[in-house]
């Protein structure tokens, strides 16, 4: 299936992929942590969003294995970034690009 997308959306996708690649490289070089705490994730992305993504299976929750009842919970930064982009890419588009995306996404009767 071939789908035409707007130039603006294409640039957003390329920019996202470029930024994600840079972040992945920084993580592999140990310049940045691969995981963030649940508290940091809630601050950056919103508690409701993170909870919704975990329930939907988009983001995986990692619990520290220290045997304590209240062990810390961590999330993979790349998973969170991807989920945020998938759920929020429409907010940054112009009205014309949003209309084009709705036309592409909406089912044809």
How does pLDDT run along the chain (109 residues), one tens digit per residue?
A: 676 777 877 888 888 889 999 999 999 999 999 999 999 999 999 999 899 999 988 899 998 877 677 778 999 999 999 888 877 766 667 777 777 766 665 555 5
Residues 6+ apart with CB under 8 A from 78: 20, 23, 24, 27, 34
Which two tokens mark 107? 């089912």
Residue 39 confidence (pLDDT): 94
Within a domain: residue 22? yes
Within a domain: residue 97? yes
**Is the overall model pTM greater than 0.85, yes or no?**
no
> What's the number of domains the chain is made of?
1
Within a domain: residue 19? yes
Residue ranges making up the domain that contains 87: 5-103
Paired strand residues for 37: 74
Within a domain: residue 109? no
Which two tokens mark 20? 């994600």
Residue 91 confidence (pLDDT): 66
Within a domain: residue 108? no
């Amino acid at each position: 299936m071939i789908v035409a997308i707007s130039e603006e959306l294409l640039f957003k996708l390329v920019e996202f992929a470029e930024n994600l690649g840079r972040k992945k490289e920084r993580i592999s070089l140990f310049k940045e942590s691969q995981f963030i705490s649940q508290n940091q994730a809630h601050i950056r992305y919103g508690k409701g969003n993170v909870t919704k993504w975990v329930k939907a299976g988009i983001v995986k929750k990692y619990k520290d294995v220290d045997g304590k009842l209240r062990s810390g919970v961590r999330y993979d930064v790349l998973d969170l970034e991807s989920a945020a982009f998938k759920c929020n890419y429409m907010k940054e588009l112009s009205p014309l690009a949003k209309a084009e995306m709705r036309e592409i996404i909406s089912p044809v009767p």
